Structure 1
Amino acid sequence: MDHNNRRDWYAVYTRANCEAKLAAGLTDKSVENFYPVIEETRLWSDRKKKIKVPIFPSYIFVYINNDEFYRVKKASGFSHFVSLKSEPIVIPESQINAVKQLLNSSYQWQTKVSTLNKGTKIEITDGPLQGYIGVLVADATQNNVAIEIPALCKTMVFTLKQNQFKPVWTN
């Protein structure tokens, strides 16, 4: 089997509020993508309006092979692939299908944004300390957070933007 032609799902982190723009641009470039949205009614002081809201803000999913990575990276609104140790993470098709199935159902559900709390184990994904594991020493409710990295022999506390680290989930 030629692995270069094998297609897989990948999560793409978009620039701020560019999910729809990136999805449309990739569709124009014949790159299969999935941009899950729900319709919500927003109430302003003078009117109600139905708008489409992304289920996963700042993320879309692409179904690509190795040859298509470059096209995705060059698309307007692209920030980076969700990665582990500099390798884009393959999203199991069953998980994409589960989201699609939920969207097509009449089941009542809602999304919940989870914030990382003090004490959460994280991995640095960007910058000179990429790959190091640390622990949050402040809640990740603002644009910047402080973490400590005990692996450096002394505890160092510094600030990172939220897109420079990810939680490390343990079983």
Structure 2
Amino acid sequence: MNWYVVYTKPKWEKKVAAQLQNNGIECYCPVVVQLRQWSDRKKKVEVPLFNSYVFVRLAENDRNAVFDNVGVVRYLFWLGKPAIVRDDEINIIKKWLNTSDSIDVEVASYHIGDSIALESGPFSTQKATIKEITNTHFVLVLESLGCVLKMKIK
């Protein structure tokens, strides 16, 4: 069985994941806790890590079963075929979200376009290219995983 990426209606990620689990489909909707502010209060809320995406693990011939759920729009495609996410990539995301370590990075000595090897944290085996540096964060491109990582500077 492979992990596929399902595109959902906006703000329906957690609802779709709950429906899929109720229908016996293995799915994963990674969430992070963010502090949100309203006019009268601040509150910690769980928000999806990837907007409008839920990962589902299915056999190829069972892929149409996800369309029985309200909020599912389509599958994400890559090069004309349904995008397949490897098990180790899902495990890296899970490991990263479960890590409570804070990663210290000194941005002053790095420049845009520099290639670096990450030495700690869940992506410690990866090489990255620095794409953007600001006062509050920096953006790394992890080409081996095909993703962009935005990290806050503490």
* C-alpha deviation, 1:85, in angstroms: 4.3
Runs (4+) of structure 1 exceeding 3 A deviation are: none
RMSD over equivalenced CA pairs, Å:
1.6
How many residues align? The count is: 104
Counterpart of 1:75 in structure 2 is 69
Cα distance in 2 between the residues matched to 1:84 and 1:44: 38
- Comparing both structures, which one devotes a greater share of its residues to strand? 2
Q: Deviations over 1:72-112 (max 9, x none)?
A: 12211111111134421111111110000001111347xxx
Counterpart of 1:17 in structure 2 is 11
Counterpart of 1:3 in structure 2 is none
2:83 alignment partner AA: I
* C-alpha deviation, 1:17, in angstroms: 1.1
Which structure has the greater CA radius of gyration? 1
1:82 alignment partner AA: L
Counterpart of 1:33 in structure 2 is 27
Unaligned runs of 5+ in 2: 104-145, 147-154
With structure 2 as the length reference, what TM-score do the two structures score? 0.63
Q: Deviations over 1:99-143 (max 9, x none)?
A: 00001111347xxxxxxxxxxxxxxxxxxxxxxxxxxxxxxxxxx
Cα distance in 1 between the residues matched to 2:65 and 2:55: 14
The one of 21, 26, 42 aligned to 1:48: 42
Secondary structure of 1:39 counterpart? strand
Cα distance in 2 between the residues matched to 1:47 and 1:19: 25
With structure 1 as the length reference, what TM-score do the two structures score? 0.57
Checking the alignment, whether the CA contact within 8 Å between 2:6 and 2:54 is kept in structure 1 is: yes
Q: Percent identity?
A: 36
The one of 65, 68, 71 aligned to 2:59: 65
Cα distance in 1 between the residues matched to 2:99 and 2:79: 36
